[in-house]
Amino acid sequence: MDKIKSVITNIFTQISLNKLSNCHDLNVLAENVFMYVLNDCFDYHLQNANILNNVPNQVGFDLIDTKNKIIFQVTSSDTIEKYSETIKKVKNVHGLEGFNLKFFILKASANKHLASSKIHNLSSPIIFDKDKDILDGNWLFAQFTSHFDRISLIEKHLELLFNGELSYKMIYSLLKYSETICDYPLPEHYLPRKFALKSDRSEAFDVLFSPESKEYSLDKILEEVVKNNELRKFVIFSTAQNDKTTELYRLYNIISKDVEKGVQFIAASSYSQFHHDSFFNILPCRLEENQYILLDGMDELNDKDRNSLINELRDFLKEYSKIKVVVTCRSNYNNGRMLSDFTQLEMLPLSYDEIVSYIKGSLGEHTTSFIKYIEQHQNISELLDVPFYLSSVVDYFGEKHQIPQTQEKILDYIFAKSLKVKEKEGDTINDLAYGAEGLFTVIALTMQFSEKQVLSGKELYKYLKFSKEKISDLTLYTIFKKDSFKDVYSFIHNGFKEHFVAKFSKNLSYQEILKIVCYANGEIPIIKKNW
């Protein structure tokens, strides 16, 4: 009993000290903890109302027992306004006639405002008695004493919820995780991609679910595959600059909205084999089978770190046999052995119909002339099945009424335009335009040689000798961004890193280029994977 009391007291304390009562995950924690506790104590059949009713935020209550006709509002607020507003909302919810509304206040002792004339008892359409239906921690602890035979069952369920560890450490872990929950921004002209399960028997795709429907968005294909085949380890091998990260961002945004699920987005580039803490962690307050790890950019590590990370991932998945993981990696790293026990998902290029639909929506009556131009530039038309290049070429045509003849022209156009966008927003440029390309080239070369897609502020400041003002100025370009939570910087698309590296390399001799991009192992040059 002491363990359970300690967990509940810690929840109350953290809510009070951190003022995080509106934090998504802390609310989920409280709702799930007390759902289990109340069900076990009183043989209730409480369920999460959002999940049951398939809504993002059920109005007026959090838990519902349709068998015993009980609804609970789980909240840290015990103001008169909170009580009266909740009652008013619940009265208007269709289908709750005859249900008993109860409040569980996330405090040891709740202020029940029994003398207030603004909080009324009700017998219809819902039932509410302010003397009996406002519950708190002290009430719950008293129930433990009178339901002592249920304590072991409660403890068992809470250990499942907290992945075997009923402790303050798990509460703290949850709060740290909560701070990083966000929606990852998707590109302005985002086009959803389709995926198919790659066949082990041939290059053809398996017809997964029906002959006429074998392509799905990433979230849907995972949902179907997990449900129908009990698979849990997935890898997406795809070419460079194909928006793999964007698709993982979208998947993260979708999963994070489901209060029953837990999801972590992890950049493989943040891994070092010399780290001291566990790189992978299971989330508190989530059943193991409802957790996802999205591991992005396995190719962005050197060979030693990559092999070490794969070994850690395998060990982690042995320990947690129900968690699901999705890994992305460039296709040239697929040697048939790496992650061979993972189910391969194929990210399909945009279809002809999807491309034409986007062009028509953007250019309208100028679509025909655009397509005529494209037919004359085969090298550009081959890029259009990647959304980033499709939207960029269409923008270029809309502004200049011609087609960029090379990939370099496309990226030069976006680079030049990115500063103009910021100028319209009123930023001060500080004569940056004259030296920005050289600075971005230094950053791109550093990323390329160190096999990274991001650089920390410390690396830019201490090792590249960029002043803090210069670093800040570079973010005036929309092609370069600072992470919302960490002190790391990156290009908005990996194509820009390769663009600046390629422009620099054009000024080198053939022999100099060979020395840089190939292994020195004999007469036949073998290109390094990261090049």
* Segment holding 291, helix H or strand E: strand 291-296
Question: What does residue 508 show for φ and ψ, rounded to 5 degrees?
Answer: -95, 160
Give the other-Cβ count within 10 Å of 46's Cβ. 24
Place of tokens 């440029």: 429
Q: Which residue in the block uniquely carries the two structure tokens 């303050």? A: 168
Please tell me the distance from the alpha carbon of residue 238 to that of residue 330, in angstroms, as a whole number. Answer: 5
| H/E element, 37 | helix 24-42
- Dihedral over Cα of 456, 458, 461, 463: its sign: negative
- Tokens in use for 417? 């335009």
Phi, psi of 75 (to 5 degrees): -155, 155
187 secondary structure, DSSP code: P
Q: Residue 216: beta bridge partners?
A: 195
Return d(Cα 228, Cα 206) in angstroms, integer: 14
**pLDDT given at position 411:** 93
Report H helices in 126-205.
Answer: 137-146, 151-161, 168-178
Task: Classify 347 as helix, strand or coil.
Answer: strand
**DSSP assignment letter at 346:** E
pLDDT at 206: 41
CA angle 8, 113, 133 (to 5 degrees): 55
Measured distance CA(372)–CA(431) in Å, rounded: 40
Question: How do the residues of the chain divide into helix, strand and coil, expressed in percent and rounded to 5?
Answer: 50, 15, 40
Sorted by sequence, the CB contacts under 8 Å of residue 147 that are 6+ apart come out as 41, 42
> Could you give the CA distance from residue 241 to residue 258 in angstroms, rounded to a whole number?
30
- The residues with which 70 forms a beta bridge, in sequence order, are 65, 100
Q: Which of 29, 30, 264, 17 is nearest to 137 (CA)?
A: 30
Pick from 496, 455, 453: which is nearest to 296 by CA? 453
- Residue 70 structure tokens: 């009980």
Residue type for position 468: K
Whether the CB-CB separation of 49 and 59 falls below 8 Å is answered with no
Burial (CB count <10 Å: 0-12, 13-18, 19+), residue 229: exposed
Contact indicator for 404, 413 with CB cutoff of 8 Å: yes
> What pTM was estimated for this model as a whole?
0.62
Question: What does DSSP assign to residue 460?
Answer: I
Supply the pLDDT for residue 18: 53
Would you give per-residue pLDDT tens digits along the chain (531 residues)?
Answer: 677 777 777 777 766 655 543 444 565 667 777 888 888 888 899 987 876 665 556 778 989 999 999 999 988 889 999 999 999 999 888 889 999 999 999 888 899 998 888 888 998 899 999 999 999 989 988 888 887 888 887 777 777 666 555 555 555 555 555 445 567 888 877 888 999 887 643 443 344 444 444 678 999 988 877 776 678 999 999 887 788 999 999 999 999 887 678 888 988 988 875 565 678 877 765 677 888 999 999 988 888 889 999 999 999 999 888 899 999 998 888 888 889 999 999 888 888 899 999 999 999 999 999 988 888 888 888 889 888 899 999 999 999 999 998 999 999 999 988 875 555 555 545 445 558 889 999 999 999 888 888 898 889 988 899 998 888 888 888 899 887 667 889 998 888 999 999 999 999 898 888 888 887 766 777 778 777
CA gap 20, 492 in Å, rounded: 32
Q: How many CB atoms lie within 10 A of CB 188?
A: 6
| Closest to 259 (Cα-Cα) out of 47, 67, 60 | 47
